[in-house]
Structure formats: C-alpha cells, structure tokens
Structure 1
Amino acid sequence: MGMLDEAEFDRDAAAPIDMLETYFAAHGWTHEREDDEIVAKVKGSWTQYELRAIWREDDGVLQFMGFPDVRVPEERRGLVYETIGLVNEQLWIGHFELWSSTGILLFRHAALIDGDEGASLTLAQAELLVESAIDECERFYPVFQFVLWGGKTPSEAIAAALIETQGEA
C-alpha cells in the first residue's frame, strides 16, 4: 500500500472522517461517505476488502473495520470461532470477530480521539488505522480459508499460514 507523503495533504490533521476520505482519495480507492461514516473498497493480494470507519463524536471513538469478503456457513461457525480465538492471540491491536446474524467475518479496532480544539486525525494515525487493518486481513485470510475450505483444523491452519509467510520480508 505504501506511505503517502505528508506534503500531499493540505493540512496536518482533520476531522477523522475527513482525513480518511482524503487518504482513500489519495490512494485512488473507490469510497462513499455519509456524515460520520465512510466505506472504501481496496484490492488486496487475496481478495477485495471493504474498509468501513464510523465516527462516534459523543464518545470520541473512531471504529475501523475491515471486511475480507468471507461469509461463514452455519455448519462451519464453531470451527471459525475457535480459529478467531487462536488468531486473536497473535494480535496486538484490534481483533477478528464473526457476526452471528450474518456469518460475516471482520477485523475491527477502535481509536480514542480527543482534542482540546475538537477531534482530529493526523495522516500518520489514518495510515496506521487503515494499513494495520489491511495487513491483519491479508496475514490471516489464508488461515480462515484453510479452515473453511482446506479441511485443516484451526491449529493446523495457523501453523501452515505462518510457515508459508516466514520466508517473505
């Protein structure tokens, strides 16, 4: 995805959704915005991801979600919940979860954003939110695929996925 040059931006910080909109536009990613929410589509190496940010001004929280286009059939949800538990042990920021009503897998994290003169997000913060979500979705997408379609147990899937990526730098 690559870092953007701060000079490309006409301000150091902006309202959270404004900064994310600027960030998405600078990458040329398709995105739609409504008041306190923005959704973008990003092509990863495994699949297309939907990135969604929701700003909760009253709480000073920016919730950021990455959807790796994985729907889990009812009969596989137990295995995926186990997989999510093992995967989440590997994460420092954010977590994967499975929406029980729809079977949609997602990565979610939140940032507390507070400022004396109103909440704002810097380019560096926007980049960290976006890139960490994409990186974790890319890193663990094969794990979920191994469990869902490859016949592997959650432990086998994690071991296989982490071994395959060890040689890459």
Structure 2
Amino acid sequence: MLDETAFDRDESAAPIDMLESYFAAHDWTYSREDEEIVAKVKGSWAEYELRAIWREEDSVLQFLAFPDVRVAQGQRSAIYETLGRINEQLWIGHFELWSSSGILLFRHAAMMGAGDSAGMTLEEAELLVESAIDECERYYPVFQFVLWGGKSPTEAIESALIDTQGEA
C-alpha cells in the first residue's frame, strides 16, 4: 500500500494525472502523452506494461496490463479456452488475446463520472492498478503451463491456483 504522506496530489484529480502521480510515487518508469500513460512494473513472474487511456468524451478510463505473453497461432485455441475459464472467475476486468498480434493482456474499463466531476482518488488509482497487477501475477503461471508445460486449460488452472497454507 502506498504511503499517502509521500503522495503529491489533491483528494481527486483527472484520472491520467492521478495515475501519473501514483506511478511517480512508486518510482516506476513511465511516459505520458496527453490522455495516455504507460508504465513498467516488475512483478514476480514478469515485467508488466501498464497502459491507461482516458476518453474524456465518454468519461471512461481504459486500463490495460500486458504480462509479456505472446501466443503462437497454433496455441490460440487452448489459450482461448483458458481465457474463458479464467474470465468466468473474475469480477472486475478480463483477459483477452489480440488476434492480430497474439498479445495477451488484462483489460478493465472504469467509468469516472462526467464533465468536471470526472476525477480519480488515490484509493481508486491504487485499486485499479493493484488489482490488474494481482490478476496478472495470479494467472501468469496458468498461461505458462498451457503454452510451455503442455497442460490442458483445466489442468493448468488446477495446478497454478493451489492454495498454500503457512510459509516456507
């Protein structure tokens, strides 16, 4: 959780401004152009690219997390089945596969209010970013088991999502 004393932002700010402050407060590498921001964050399994696009006319923030997984044409049917099984379990956001490039990603769209009230709080920014990273971290091994381990989608999910007890 972010230490709010190190956070340099009002209670609510334009969504891209709030995300920029959030990324800066974490010392993550990021770049920004107008209504889009891209950041890199190191996870347990991979480096994730986080991308947010603000559409003011619709008051929608599109948030994407790319877990650095590309799917070859011959493996796509297994991944589509895997995505279907995973997405059934998600409450917010979903995984998808871009058919033109084979890039796997997590996507979530958030309606932020209209006009001058289209702001984002620190808590909303944290929830949006951290939930996307958490889902990528949780399901990254599933995709690897299907793509590289030769497991079926059901086997991969069962193997990767074993709940552990205690600490090693």
Query: TM-score, structure 2 length as denominator?
Result: 0.95
| Residue 166, structure 1, aligned to residue 164, structure 2 | yes
Contact in 2 for aligned 1:6/1:123 (Cα 8 Å): no
Distance 1:22 1:168 in 2: 36
Distance 2:68 2:52 in 1: 17
Q: For structure 2, list consecutive stretches of 5 or more residues without a partner in the other structure.
A: none
Code of the aligned partner of 1:43: K
Alignment of 1:54-69 (within 5 A): 54-69=53-68
Report the equivalent of 2:107: 108
Q: Go from structure 1 to structure 2 and tell me whether the alpha carbon gap of 1:168 and 1:119 turns closer, same or farther (over 3 Å shift).
A: farther
| Residue 46, structure 1, aligned to residue 48, structure 2 | no
Report the equivalent of 2:125: 126
Q: How many residues matched? A: 167
Code of the aligned partner of 2:127: L
The two structures, once aligned, show a CA RMSD in angstroms of: 1.5
Report the equivalent of 1:22: 21
Contact in 2 for aligned 1:68/1:137 (Cα 8 Å): yes
Distance 1:56 1:162 in 2: 35
Contact in 1 for aligned 2:59/2:115 (Cα 8 Å): no
Report the equivalent of 2:74: 75
Alpha-carbon deviation of 1:81?
Answer: 0.3
CA deviation vs aligned residue, 1:124-168 (integer Å, no higher than 9, x gap): 0000110000000000000000000001000000000111x4336
SS of the equivalent of 2:161 reads: helix
Contact in 2 for aligned 1:98/1:105 (Cα 8 Å): yes
Identity of aligned residues (%): 68
Code of the aligned partner of 1:104: I
SS of the equivalent of 1:64 reads: strand
Q: Go from structure 1 to structure 2 and tell me whether the alpha carbon gap of 1:48 and 1:19 turns closer, same or farther (over 3 Å shift).
A: same
SS of the equivalent of 2:104 reads: strand
Distance 2:26 2:153 in 1: 34
Distance 1:48 1:111 in 2: 24
Contact in 1 for aligned 2:7/2:21 (Cα 8 Å): no
Alpha-carbon deviation of 1:10?
Answer: 3.5
Alpha-carbon deviation of 1:9?
Answer: 2.8
SS of the equivalent of 2:16 reads: helix
Distance 2:34 2:102 in 1: 27
Q: For structure 1, list consecutive stretches of 5 or more residues without a partner in the other structure.
A: none
Distance 1:15 1:48 in 2: 26
Code of the aligned partner of 2:165: G
Report the equivalent of 2:11: 12
Distance 1:94 1:122 in 2: 19
SS of the equivalent of 1:166 reads: coil
Code of the aligned partner of 2:164: Q
